[in-house]
Structure 1
Amino acid sequence: MKKVAEPERDARSSGIGLVVTELALSAGARVSVPALEDTALEYLSAFAESEPHLSVFAADVTDKTQIVAVVTKARARQGEIGAVIACAGIAKPDYFAVWMTPISSGTCR
């Protein structure tokens, strides 16, 4: 499987989405990726220069207008869309810690 080169990996556009992109490309799929304007966008765009089946678009997936624009551009560049895989997530590292804090009875909240 051809790997996307990773300089300093930015957690906002990496992880599962990056691996799914690599797997889809290795299977011969045409892949369009919306990425935030950050380090991930830069290195994915650089990788796309040598990967004809990869298109990268600057977009915030929480903004419907930006996603509509990405879909329009992706269809114009690569044709009809056969599948959509949503891999966006929000990480709050300490979110569950508060629920695992012992209370006076010795149980968790």
Structure 2
Amino acid sequence: MGAVKKLYVNERHLVSLEEIKKNTLIHNPDGTSFLAVAGDMLATNQFGEQYTVPKKYIAKYPEVEKVKSASLYEEMAKGYEDMGQINLEEANVGHNATNRAEMLTAQLLAGKNNL
């Protein structure tokens, strides 16, 4: 296996880039083919589609720093935990308000005026 490829982003996709060393015929998953010219960069997106990027446009492809996947999942878990706590507090407030409203309604219907 080769080295891990760096990821880059353009306006549409995350891509990996590698320099084309010699003219090569590239075949895409959709059945299309094209000639990749030596000196250009070959971009491969997450769908396996490939296209060439002239070197003068490489500046438009900033490198994406790797995200430690464990920390991403930890942050998501913490976010869900926080939202769960907020939802529980909101549900308790609503439940208490409903109970208070039912009690006041029952007292009003029973003729108790000193609420």
Same fold (TM over 0.5): no
Q: Which has the higher contact order (CA 8 A, sep 6+)?
A: 1
Determine which structure has more spread, i.e. the larger CA radius of gyration. Answer: 2
TM-score normalized with structure 2 length:
0.23
TM-score normalized with structure 1 length:
0.23
